[in-house]
A and B are shown apart, each in its own frame.
Chain A
């Protein structure tokens, strides 16, 4: 597998390496689509560790992480969950969008994230001691303006954290160009539209246009779609249902594109 493309915004690569060397659990914060998951993929590849990703959701229970008994012809059989597998084999376990999981679920990671580095499987009566190479990484989008969707302070206190944001305009245009091959002048225009939309965050938009959506739009343009249509389809329609915001962003596209 080739190394995933990742454009560093600062010294986050060396900082992550240092955190991994000390096996500190890491939290990655930032808005949707700014490259959090890509960064973790890139780092796992760079450090040569397998990566186990769990996309968290509200229906997820602790047993979805830890494991559960399943039925078998001979009775019950224990099946390790992704977190247990990672802890046993020494992988990097990446819990994506951890706030989506309920707070009581996330408490199971506590013993793994302090000096104990162990995972008690109470149903099975076993305590898994984490492999020396194991590391836990969670991602977390603080943009949700909901009190319900936040991490417990006791969970937050166990992680070293990276704060990501959308890259600055020049860098973002470069990223879009290297991902898709779009000419830089055009990418810069896409980034300009995205910046306008990000100004509306909190004024009708809960999230701005992410770098990921810019890449989608650029991909469509490279596929032969007219730039205006591509922008509307990939950058405006997905993020809003509000007619006023849609009109505003459509006008922005018309104003920016030549």
Chain B
């Protein structure tokens, strides 16, 4: 019902806004608003628009308000207006008034994603928070410059909320506001998703089932149900409005793998399907192809024929799949579209996809009610072919070509293709089905990837570790790159000479170590309940008893096994500061550490515990070097000794990443107790981190992670001032060696005490 001219006039009076641009659309906006809003809502709407008009910010905000609000109100209800105007007034009072129009312009799209007044309120709150934090203040507490990233964030919001929940959106925006507060350029790049960590945080926060989280489970499923063991790889799903390509498998090529989208959302609907089930079905379908499909020569087939063959072959492997795993039938049916017969008009559009989707549905669903004769004939033939055995891809090709010939129409060539309801979600792109003998002109031509840079072939690729950010209590994903390598070698006899110098100490220690050596069986005597009679004691008791004295009833003995199962990894800090000379000795800290570690290695080796030695230093987060000196499987022989002899100290101490990497190796050891000994001479620090507390917090977090994985950490610090921070990081598990010249002895004794 269109508003009457009198009503329009009264509203125009109410709005009291004479911008020509506003007047031009006023009547249309009012007509739309009157259909959605109640009279009271209408008044509030005009009040809000009027206030915007009087702010002196030009026609844009009023226009956006007039045009967008009715749509928003239709989705989230008109009561949300108060929240929106509150944000607009806050913007008006700050330097950010330029963001008012972008906020209103995307509000309808945002509301469509959020579907409710509560999430919208959360959204507005996080927008306000970002605004407050990113507005730059130069003189004292007044915010003077507009937030550079806010308009970008607002423009991006509808896309973001497609993949994020509103809480995830808030966390993502918060991360950007926190880390790029003082860097306007980066801030804009973050909010427009051009930065890698912006995308990484997005990936972490997005809703749905991430392949990374279920990959292990899916590999197990593949192995259990199909006896297939190939790597699963992820590809990025469509961003914004782009469509996601179908999964694919490449089992006829040398680099065999199965590729799946990196995330599947749960599907709502009458038969809800969880993301993990979508992954499972896609895998099951591809595994079925791998088991039952043969490759065909594509050169002599038209695209129409190929499409039909793929449709029938997909249906065949699904049929065989269900023969083995009938429990999947409801899920397959739920994921398969149900195209309505006659939904596509062959006179105006190409119905090829629609016809094939119907055929595919009919082959899968015995309860289909399609009347089409050719379709039903094809279904019947299909079931006869598959009645007794597995049939074959070749038989499907024959059937498909007949069916294609029977059903093809002139309009299949039309440019306008009917796509609705024709995509079968769990099916792959069938690239494995086709062999091309001659390079065709219609296939996508891919250029060969450029040959890998030869310079990169040295050493292993880096491993990335997260770093803890204490301020936001979150991990910065894949923040640190750790490069590992073998430590260069020196002369092994140097270490032997060192050990020789400490021969006296070694003799003392040897006595202690022998006591610690595992005894596999230990007899426990004087037991009242035991496994065996201790004859000596028993006879003594018997004599006592016969003599009339009180006999000792503890005449049995038992055994217990006493084993020792400890794996030790000694992590050496090799930063520049180790080159300082220790006052009074003339030796550098590095030389002393070397001596200490040599003695320790000798002792551990003597005890027979598996142990490894490694050193680390760092030069910004992009280059943390982890150098193996001795591996767990190596003997304490010349090779590791030679590496230890060549120790060199340089760069800084990014300890958390090195510990996480050490934990990777220590965790793989099979031992009851795992001990990480960290030998360092100062607090964790690096040249790219100005805040001293940041890396301390990260290291503390790393210690806690290790504890959760069942690894004990102990720190030996050579820093006399270490008390200030070392207990923050390691708790009680830290020893400060104040007289450094005693390090060799202290370290070895400490180890012995720790593992007693």
Contacts and interface: CB of A to CB of B under 8 A. Distances in A.
A258 B220 contact: no
A245 to B, nearest CB: 6
Contacts of A64: 531
A10 interface: no
B224 A69 contact: no
A61 B559 contact: yes
A196 B532 CA distance: 47
B533 A69 contact: yes
A216 to B, nearest CB: 20
Contact of A63 (B220, B284, B325, B532): B532
Given A64-B531, A69-B533, A69-B535, A255 B225 contact: yes
Contacts of B531: 59, 61, 63-64
Contacts of B325: 255-256
Interface string B323-336: 01111100000000
Given A64-B531, A71-B555, A252-B225, A200 B327 contact: no
Interface string B524-562: 000000011101001000100000000000010001010
B203 to A, nearest CB: 21
B217 interface: yes
Contacts of B501: none
Name, among A69, A192, A248, the residue most crowded by chain B CB atoms within 10 Å (CB to CB): A248
A258 B327 contact: yes
B533 A68 contact: yes
B559 A245 contact: no
B225 A196 contact: yes
A125 interface: no
B227 interface: yes
Given A71-B555, A76-B538, A248 B326 contact: no
Contacts of A252: 221, 224-225
A204 interface: yes
B224 A200 contact: yes
Given A63-B531, A200-B224, A255-B327, A248 B538 contact: no
B294 interface: no
Nearest to A253: B327
Name, among B227, B324, B533, B555, the residue most crowded by chain A CB atoms within 10 Å (CB to CB): B533
B502 interface: no
A199 B532 contact: no
A248 B535 contact: no
A229 interface: no
A136 interface: no
Contacts of B533: 68-71, 76
Contacts of A200: 220, 223-224
Contacts of B712: none
B472 interface: no
Nearest to B555: A71
A251 B224 CA distance: 10
Interface string B209-222: 00000001100110
Contact of A75 (B326, B542, B559): B542
Nearest to B220: A248
Name, among A58, A196, A251, the residue most crowded by chain B CB atoms within 10 Å (CB to CB): A251
B280 interface: yes
B545 to A, nearest CB: 10
A203 B533 CA distance: 45
A28 to B, nearest CB: 27
Interface in B183-240: 216-217, 220-221, 223-225, 227
A197 interface: yes
B532 A248 contact: no
Interface string B27-50: 000000000000000000000000
Name, among B220, B532, B542, B555, the residue most crowded by chain A CB atoms within 10 Å (CB to CB): B220
Interface in A209-258: 244-245, 247-249, 251-258
A63 B326 CA distance: 56
A217 to B, nearest CB: 16
A203 B280 CA distance: 19
Contact of B327 (A75, A76, A256): A256
Contacts of B326: 255-258
B224 A254 contact: no
A69 B534 CA distance: 10
A251 B225 CA distance: 10
Nearest to B276: A247
Contacts of B542: 75-76
Interface string B584-621: 00000000000000000000000000000000000000
Name, among B216, B221, B224, B531, the residue most crowded by chain A CB atoms within 10 Å (CB to CB): B224
B280 A251 contact: yes
Contact of B217 (A59, A104, A197, A247): A247
Contacts of A244: 216-217, 220
A197 B224 CA distance: 6
Interface string A49-69: 000000000110101100011
A198 B216 CA distance: 17
B327 A248 contact: no
Given A196-B225, A255-B225, A257-B327, A203 B532 contact: no
B220 A245 contact: yes
B216 A255 contact: no
A71 B545 CA distance: 12
Nearest to A243: B217
A58 B558 CA distance: 13
A104 to B, nearest CB: 8
Contact of A68 (B217, B276, B532): B532
Nearest to B546: A75
B442 to A, nearest CB: 38
A252 B533 CA distance: 54
Given A69-B533, A255-B325, A248 B224 contact: yes
Interface string B290-315: 00000000000000000000000000
A15 B559 CA distance: 40
Given A63-B531, A69-B533, A69-B535, A203 B327 contact: no
Interface in A164-197: 192, 196-197
Contacts of B559: 61
Contacts of B284: 255
Contacts of A251: 221, 280
A203 B225 contact: no
Contacts of B216: 244
A192 B325 CA distance: 10
Nearest to B542: A75
Contact of A61 (B221, B328, B532): B532
A203 B223 CA distance: 9
B563 to A, nearest CB: 9
B541 to A, nearest CB: 9
Given A244-B220, A255-B327, 11 more contacts: A69-B538, A102-B561, A196-B224, A200-B223, A245-B220, A248-B217, A253-B327, A254-B328, A255-B284, A255-B326, A258-B326
13 contacts: A61-B559, A63-B532, A69-B538, A70-B533, A104-B521, A199-B227, A200-B224, A252-B221, A252-B224, A254-B327, A255-B225, A256-B324, A258-B326
Interface of B: 216-217, 220-221, 223-225, 227, 276, 280, 284, 324-328, 521, 531-533, 535, 538, 542, 555, 559, 561
Interface of A: 58-59, 61, 63-64, 68-71, 75-76, 102, 104, 192, 196-197, 199-200, 203-204, 244-245, 247-249, 251-258
Q: Which 6 A-B pairs have the closest CB atoms?
A: A255-B325, A196-B224, A248-B220, A244-B217, A255-B327, A258-B326
